[in-house]
Structure 1
Amino acid sequence: MSRFLLVLLVISLVSCQKEITKSPPNVILILTDDQGYGDLGIHGNKAIQTPVLDQLANESARFERFYVSPLCAPTRASMLTGRYHLRTGTVSVSKGLETMDAEEYTLAELFKDNGYSTAIFGKWHNGQHYPNHPLAQGFDVFTGFLGGHWSNYFDTHLEKDREMQKIEGYISDVLTDEAINFLEENKDRSFFTYLAYNTPHSPHQVPDEYFDRYKAQGLDDELAAIYGMVTNLDDNIGRLLQKVKELGLEENTVIIFLTDNGPNGIRFNDEMKGRKGSVHEGGVRVPSFWKWPGKIPPGVQTTPASHIDILPTLVELLGLEFEEKRPLDGVSLAMSLRGEDQDFSRSIFSHVAQPERKLDPFPGAIRKDSLVLTHLEAGDELYDLKNDPSQKSNLADTYPELTMALSEEYKAWFEEVTEGANFDRPIPISSQSNEILLASYESLFSGELSFYEGHGWAQDWLTQWKDLDDRITWSLDVLDPGTFEVIFEYATPEDQIGSQLVLQQGMSQISFEITEPFIGETISSPDRITRKEAPEKTWKKIAIGEISLEKGKTDLTLFAKKIPADEVGDLYSLRLIPVNK
């Protein structure tokens, strides 16, 4: 054999060996919060600047009709499990109803079981406590927050390395930095990165350079803030994609981009009916881009698709080992993404629930081919999206038999997926937690008490504690019994100190008195318009004693036995710290 042929043989063998040892494809799943279909230049919005996402769309397979849930937490639960959110325990967005059952098998667990390193950066919104915490649901790394929204986007506190830490910078920039660091640390092994940005969800906070850019166009403060947040996201996603290229990972990385529901306000949305919270097109139809150079041909996908399809699609597309622990609702779109013919007809369902109501079948919707039937309290509506994409002509009276058939199919689906659903969501007490936050917004209360903001969303607190008959109760499910130190977190002005309080659990009580005044500092947050959410504040923490909890369900009830002034003060939380962990 000549020297030249020998060199060629060696090169060939080395190339084959590299191909054999090449890591399984990485996956970066990018989800933005309250960004509508119309919040992109590529979808016809002339006012917004999204060059990175527009280019990503052109380099991707992008679904013309991709559906999610009308609200945040349900979309996340369905996306992570491949199942309709009502099956997973996630019913709504707050008061424990956002919590996904710990037994659900998530995308993170799927990738972890296939040898991947896994991370989530940003908004979780599927349970605040172990074992519903992301680190107990398959993720190795978590930097972000657990509730439905965050009150401050600048120099705020986020959970990182299992504890709350002060983080300098604008939140979207910080989350991108965290994701980039994770990519650098895992460039030599396969990884799954879930980058769950929390913008352009309110509060409306954005750096000046982005806000000023849109104010210069003559937009009002709200729209300038929202579009500014989206353009900031676009820049950050550009930084992330550039890092993928710099690390030489582009050819071996699947990039998926989508948003979690329709826009959080009335603005350009391609003339679709409805917005966030609606089961009409404008509330549930979102962008969905899938990029994998050389494996997924760019172009428009006309097959109707949904968030429940992401997990089964990735299983087939990447050849992952998967045991179906609970029946999936989604289907694999791998054939379609590879450019192969995939012709099937199926129904895609939507539902939205309100935490204050019982679980009604409406509002809901069923989509089949080009038809959508919305099942509303006022009656069913039928639309042909092919000829009427803006849902202006209700065909329910024109086609009563078709309307009835789709309505019955929807109601049968709703009955099936809600079988066993309940609103009893006790807070799990697990030894996996270093500290268990019993936030006031997770409590039940009676009397004159009220939430500061009103809704009891994340980071809100209780105020107007004026009566001895007022009761604040946390329902617990003690998974790991033990003794816990109890921390009381409050704010009380000096002229109201002296209240005597009791924390009761069964026959046990802790009695204590508020002797130290504390005026909480409202942390500066540059809102562009008046916010809906409670602000971020500082609180006083005092240790009030220890309590022993036995395995099983129990209640902790807090009340006052003496209020010497007008009221007790404001309550943010109790915290339970395991003793001798």
Structure 2
Amino acid sequence: MRSSFSVRRGCVLVSITDPRSAHGPARSRRRCTDDCPASRRGRSCHSRSCRDALHVILTLVLGLWCQGIAFAESAAASDATPQQTPPNVVVFLSDDQGWGDLSLNGNTNLSTPNIDRMAAEGARFDRFFVCPVCSPTRAEFLTGRYHPRGGVFSTSAGGERLDLDEVTIADSFRAAGYATAAFGKWHNGMQYPYHPNGRGFTEYYGFCSGHWGHYFSPQLEHNQELTTGEGYLTDDFTNHAIRFIQAHHNRPFFLYVPYNTPHSPMQVPDQWWQKFADRPLALRHRDPDKEDPQFTRAALAMCENIDWNVGRLLEHLEKLNLADDTIVVYFCDNGPNGWRWNGGMRGRKGTTDEGGVRSPLVIRWPGKIGSGKVVPQIAGAIDLLPTLADLCGVEVVSTKTLDGRSLKPLLVDQNATWEDRMIFSTWNRKVSVRTQQYRLDSTGKLYDMLADPGQDQDVSKEHPELTRELRAEVEQFKNEVMADFDKEERPFLVGHPDFRYTQLPARDADSHGGIERSNRHANCTYFRNWTSSEDSISWNVEVAASGTYEVEVYYTCPQQDVGSTIELSLNGQRVSGKVSAANDPPEKGAAEDRVVRVEGYVKDFKPLQLGRIRLEEGTGFLTLRALEIPGDQVMEMRLVMLTRVDD
């Protein structure tokens, strides 16, 4: 393999000639070859040869950075001036919590003293904007780039995945020598290398789906190996985060804690619910008839539980004398998931209006960021990567242009100059744009957000020139950022050589015949009504590396239906086995729900050992079907797990 390098500050450009590649020589970090269809569309390719090149490039890039770190450390050792230890970073991200779900923003329905204290001891951004829904915000935080650039177009069925040629904030911090970990809801891809372990996080515990069906000791994963959670999820994720800090307190760490609450189902322990169960709501949604008070109470109880967990982690930092050496960030992923008080703003989760995309942002770094600082300038999730990298002196190991900018001057410089800017919000091809004073909504109406924060009065006729300018900016955004936003079909990757496990959940599969999905919200569903040998379940996959795999099918089946023979096949390779034991648990979740859910319930699915299958590198449809059905149904199926075994 021959490599040539062009190195400049902040990036490494690499061209590679790889004898293993069927595409031939000369590929770049940014694109594949001219004969690669994905390259011609300007998108990332998922073929093995292109992924191999990407893997080699990233390895070389990280190696160069490690060499740079070693050189810097060597130089520091020979210098009489002591070098300052870089700060740790903790990032909290809540799920479906609105701007108004904190007492620091004036909500008297609840109390969030720990997050309020963070704001009092650090900086609070008054106008901080995220995306209308979950996975896009996560993608923008991870990359510093608008989510359509990274291929994120949905919250399920593969559309939540972040393109493999995107470099994440964890990649940069890991390359700089930080210990990296994430504990919670990922929601940017499940199969490696979309998995957090493939995106710069050495340690991961949580779930990769968009929502989870049960919050008390459910099935989770630890570095993609299935495990069982311990207690209420938000508490459990915090416990793991605290243990990670304890284990890495003597070196810089980057810790990402993406909580799954107050996303539905609305489950919260009794100690938090009892405070709100019959409590009057002093503040209501601007249209009270839309509000479900019990849903609001459950959400607020979950928010107070989040605050308690934030406080536990902050207390642990103080016990270890790490508080002054740790940057702590708190923000939310979108607007509230219900019609509840949100400062009188229009919109909620799923909309590009102010209430759908405005989020709290609190950043605390004692001694470096002034206490009680309120930043009025608009900012967004795209700014967090460049900001944290700048504050920590970490180089961003990406050659892609960032959409975000560093907020460091606004945090540490009282007299910072700051250029006016625009921040775009998009979902389902609807686009709105925010300036410091105005918002142009997705229909082209203009609102003065200082005089009219509720977006009640269209002022486009009073400001025709500004309206034309902002409409033109929206069109340019669509033409540039969303130009290749074609929801390109990307197979689900199976058997990456760097990872042992591959999960293929029902969420990512298509059913054929009479098989039904357990609920229209696919993220935590299973398949049922499998009654015919003509029925099948299939995944569009790409096998990354040829090999032999153990197959487990997670199933339920009542005693009277035991005995079906099922087969898993791909491109002529197949393995079959018999359902030899009953597993007939009831649905669970309803007893813990504080409000009747819209999502489906879950069950305790158990693994059926199907045997081993040989899979060859390439693409195809991995298909599960029944060969024999002695009872009324085959099974209910939630997940296929493939585990690589040594040949």
Q: Aligned match of 1:538 in 604, 608, 617?
A: 604
| 1:70 and 1:284 in contact (8 A); partners too | yes
Q: Which amino acid aligns with 2:493?
A: P
Per-residue deviation, residues 130-171 of structure 1 (Å, max 9, x unmatched): 111111211122121111122222222332355222232222
Corresponding position: 1:195 with 2:257 = yes
Q: How far 1:401 moved relative to its partner?
A: 4.7
Q: How far 1:500 moved relative to its partner?
A: 4.3
Per-residue deviation, residues 528-575 of structure 1 (Å, max 9, x unmatched): 111223333222432333322222222112233554544333121222
Per-residue deviation, residues 247-292 of structure 1 (Å, max 9, x unmatched): 1122221111111111110111000100111100011000001111
Give the whole-Å Cα distance in 1 for the aligned partners of 2:253 and 2:218: 28
| 1:465 counterpart residue number | 530
Q: How far 1:507 moved relative to its partner?
A: 2.8
Q: How far 1:468 moved relative to its partner?
A: 4.0
Q: Which amino acid aligns with 1:484?
A: Y
How does 1:218-367 map onto structure 2 within 5 Å? 218=280, 220-297=293-370, 298-338=372-412, 339-353=414-428, 361=429, 363-367=430-434
| 1:71 and 1:92 in contact (8 A); partners too | no
Per-residue deviation, residues 206-265 of structure 1 (Å, max 9, x unmatched): 111111111242354322221111111111111111111221122221111111111110
Give the whole-Å Cα distance in 1 for the aligned partners of 2:148 and 2:379: 18
Runs of 4+ in 1 over 6 A off after TM superposition: none
Give the whole-Å Cα distance in 1 for the aligned partners of 2:612 and 2:228: 28
Q: Aligned match of 1:100 in 147, 162, 181?
A: 162
Q: Which amino acid aligns with 2:438?
A: L
Question: 195-204 or 74-83: which moved more?
Answer: 195-204
Q: How far 1:102 moved relative to its partner?
A: 2.5
Alpha carbons of structure 1 residues 152 and 397: separation in structure 2 relative to 1, 3 Å: same
State the SS of the aligned residue for 1:383. Answer: strand
Alpha carbons of structure 1 residues 82 and 562: separation in structure 2 relative to 1, 3 Å: same
Q: Aligned match of 1:575 in 638, 641, 646?
A: 641
Q: Which amino acid aligns with 1:235?
A: W
Alpha carbons of structure 1 residues 19 and 340: separation in structure 2 relative to 1, 3 Å: farther
Question: 31-40 or 471-480: which moved more?
Answer: 471-480
Give the whole-Å Cα distance in 2 for the aligned partners of 1:305 and 1:175: 28
Q: How far 1:200 moved relative to its partner?
A: 1.0
Q: How far 1:40 moved relative to its partner?
A: 0.8
State the SS of the aligned residue for 1:130. Answer: coil
Give the whole-Å Cα distance in 2 for the aligned partners of 1:128 and 1:323: 23
Give the whole-Å Cα distance in 2 for the aligned partners of 1:571 and 1:411: 45
| 1:435 counterpart residue number | 501
Question: 142-151 or 551-560: which moved more?
Answer: 551-560
Q: How far 1:18 moved relative to its partner?
A: 12
Alpha carbons of structure 1 residues 157 and 546: separation in structure 2 relative to 1, 3 Å: closer
State the SS of the aligned residue for 2:478. Answer: helix
Give the whole-Å Cα distance in 2 for the aligned partners of 1:405 and 1:34: 32
Q: Aligned match of 2:448 in 384, 387, 393?
A: 384
State the SS of the aligned residue for 1:457. Answer: helix
Give the whole-Å Cα distance in 1 for the aligned partners of 2:377 and 2:586: 52
Corresponding position: 1:456 with 2:522 = yes
Give the whole-Å Cα distance in 2 for the aligned partners of 1:347 and 1:62: 20
State the SS of the aligned residue for 2:262. Answer: coil
| 1:5 counterpart residue number | none
Give the whole-Å Cα distance in 2 for the aligned partners of 1:489 and 1:408: 51
Q: Aligned match of 2:480 in 416, 422, 436?
A: 416
Give the whole-Å Cα distance in 2 for the aligned partners of 1:180 and 1:503: 41
Q: How far 1:455 moved relative to its partner?
A: 2.2
Give the whole-Å Cα distance in 2 for the aligned partners of 1:259 and 1:234: 13
Corresponding position: 1:560 with 2:635 = no
Q: Which amino acid aligns with 1:261?
A: N
Corresponding position: 1:151 with 2:213 = yes
| 1:82 and 1:330 in contact (8 A); partners too | yes
Alpha carbons of structure 1 residues 128 and 162: separation in structure 2 relative to 1, 3 Å: closer
Corresponding position: 1:518 with 2:583 = yes
Alpha carbons of structure 1 residues 141 and 511: separation in structure 2 relative to 1, 3 Å: closer
Q: Which amino acid aligns with 1:534?
A: G
| 1:56 counterpart residue number | 118
Q: Which amino acid aligns with 2:569?
A: Q
Give the whole-Å Cα distance in 1 for the aligned partners of 2:463 and 2:564: 66
* TM score, norm. by length of structure 1: 0.90
Alpha carbons of structure 1 residues 245 and 544: separation in structure 2 relative to 1, 3 Å: closer
Give the whole-Å Cα distance in 1 for the aligned partners of 2:415 and 2:514: 62
| 1:489 and 1:571 in contact (8 A); partners too | yes
Alpha carbons of structure 1 residues 517 and 248: separation in structure 2 relative to 1, 3 Å: closer
Give the whole-Å Cα distance in 1 for the aligned partners of 2:213 and 2:280: 27
Alpha carbons of structure 1 residues 390 and 505: separation in structure 2 relative to 1, 3 Å: same
Question: 560-569 or 245-254: which moved more?
Answer: 560-569
Matched pairs, number: 553
| 2:57 counterpart residue number | none
* TM score, norm. by length of structure 2: 0.81
- The Cα RMSD (Å) is 2.2
The runs of 5 or more residues in structure 1 that have no matched partner are 1-16, 354-360
State the SS of the aligned residue for 1:218. Answer: coil
Q: Which amino acid aligns with 2:141?
A: M
Q: Which amino acid aligns with 1:560?
A: A
| 1:457 and 1:533 in contact (8 A); partners too | no
Per-residue deviation, residues 175-232 of structure 1 (Å, max 9, x unmatched): 2121112222222211111111111111111111111111242354322221111111
Give the whole-Å Cα distance in 1 for the aligned partners of 2:554 and 2:319: 46
State the SS of the aligned residue for 1:110. Answer: helix
Give the whole-Å Cα distance in 2 for the aligned partners of 1:138 and 1:103: 13
Q: How far 1:29 moved relative to its partner?
A: 0.9
| 1:520 and 1:540 in contact (8 A); partners too | no
| 1:4 counterpart residue number | none
Per-residue deviation, residues 76-108 of structure 1 (Å, max 9, x unmatched): 110011011111122221111111123321111
Give the whole-Å Cα distance in 2 for the aligned partners of 1:239 and 1:249: 14
